[in-house]
Structure 1
């Protein structure tokens, strides 16, 4: 699915308003990292984020990080085994369908940086985790990422 971050987030502002949350234009910052990309080096102070990984029109993963989740934001999705559920591990498990060669899976972090687009959506931490969770859930429903949650939870 090709998605338009600006339009999708305009729709999210409506969803947030329906939930009783008013978002100012400056409350949502979009950071597009097209492939090849360098992962972010830090989560900016006072922010939390939702991130979306895509490969072509395929939405791979949508996740969230609170204001203290620096490793999740900067590195874990590029390193299989670094956390319970990572993009890298999901892609290795699905290597045949993705057409990944053994060399690609051996260097999956490099492959993700070189071939996968990433969009970070930054929100002020003052908005709170419920708003962050609402945004993540909205994007998961809208974008239907291939690798969401654990394999046993996928439809």
Structure 2
């Protein structure tokens, strides 16, 4: 399922209730389907990234303008950050038999979709926090 429009509407509608509304020109959403190759974070952009497996959001995180690795590679690798999708999957007993330390990186690429909200860096970290929190709450 493509969550791009739902995420866009959620951000616009929720931010309209604040004194700092976001409009379509303030962000865009990149959908990376299953069997994806991780993209790099565009220059002067920040992101809230999500990983979805069979309709379940497994990971929602953020990367600021100086965190390109956090966006592109950290979620896929064990030990590349304090909290990665790869490590969470290995720790999840419901994933036993699907992932192991040798295949988790490729398993994520082959089985998870990404819906990434790309935001111009001029909006600052508070916008990242708002969107990440909103998606967690949803």
Q: Please report the TM-score for the alignment, with normalisation by the length of structure 1.
A: 0.82
**CA separation in 2, counterparts of 1:21 and 1:129?**
13
Residue 8 of structure 1: how far off its partner (Å): 2.8
Matched, 1:127 2:123: yes
User: Conserved in 2, the CA contact under 8 Å of 1:16 and 1:131?
Assistant: no
Q: 1:136 aligns with which of 118, 132, 138?
A: 132
- Unmatched runs of 5 consecutive residues or more in structure 2: none
**CA separation in 1, counterparts of 2:2 and 2:64?**
24
Residue 25 of structure 1: how far off its partner (Å): 1.4
CA-based RMSD = 1.6
Q: Please report the TM-score for the alignment, with normalisation by the length of structure 2.
A: 0.92
**CA separation in 1, counterparts of 2:9 and 2:109?**
28
Secondary structure at 2:29 match in 1: strand
- How many residue pairs align between the two structures? 138
Q: 2:97 aligns with which of 100, 103, 116?
A: 100
Residues 14, 130 of structure 1: CA spacing in aligned structure 2 closer, same or farther, 3 A cutoff?
Answer: same
Matched, 1:63 2:71: no
Residues 101, 12 of structure 1: CA spacing in aligned structure 2 closer, same or farther, 3 A cutoff?
Answer: closer
- Unmatched runs of 5 consecutive residues or more in structure 1: 143-155
Q: How does 1:2-21 map to 2 (within 5 A)?
A: 4-21=3-20
User: Conserved in 2, the CA contact under 8 Å of 1:80 and 1:86?
Assistant: yes
- Partner deviation per Cα, 1:84-105 (whole Å, 9 max, x = no partner): 10000000111x3124346x44
- Aligned position for 1:147: none
